[in-house]
């Protein structure tokens, strides 16, 4: 019976070693997956925004016309800014800049007095 006991003991040790190796392999696989996901997340973090910018650049001059930003709040802000710039442009065209180039005798007199 000692031969059978030795065989059972060897089988148990082999089974324990196989289970231990399998556990180590599972842990290494989990660590590899975790670290890979972290690296991918780091490199792909801005991929959505970059893809949107690329699409906008491609379609800007196409027959499909305009573009849209991925962030709707940002797009609303850009539209508001464009409207403000247009309004300021209209105000500036209405300004009479000729006034700036007119001679001001009081100013010239003041400069003459203080430059002496």
Indicate whether 5 pLDDT > 80.
Answer: no
Indicate whether 27 pLDDT > 70.
Answer: yes
Triad 66, 71, 77: Cα angle to 5°? 75
Higher-pLDDT residue of 29, 1: 29
46-98 tens-digit pLDDT: 787 788 888 777 777 666 666 566 778 888 888 899 899 999 988 888 777 77
Tokens of 52: 């949107």
Q: Which residues have CB under 8 Å from 69's CB, separation 6+?
A: 52, 56, 75, 78
How many whole angstroms separate alpha carbon 62 and alpha carbon 67? 10
30-45 tens-digit pLDDT: 999 989 888 888 777 7
Quickly state the pLDDT bin for 7 (edges 50, 70, 90): confident
97-106 tens-digit pLDDT: 777 667 777 8
The pLDDT of residue 19 is 94
């Amino acid at each position: 019976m000692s031969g059978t006991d030795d065989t059972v003991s060897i089988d148990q040790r082999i089974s324990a070693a196989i289970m231990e190796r399998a556990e180590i392999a599972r842990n290494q696989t989990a660590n590899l997956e975790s670290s890979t996901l972290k690296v991918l997340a780091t490199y792909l973090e801005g991929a959505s925004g970059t893809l949107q910018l690329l699409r906008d650049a491609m379609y800007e001059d196409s027959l499909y016309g305009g573009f849209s930003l991925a962030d709707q709040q940002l797009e609303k802000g850009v539209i508001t800014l464009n409207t403000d710039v247009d309004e300021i442009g209209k105000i500036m065209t209405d300004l009479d800049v000729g006034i700036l180039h007119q001679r001001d005798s009081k100013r010239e007199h003041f400069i003459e007095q203080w430059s002496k």
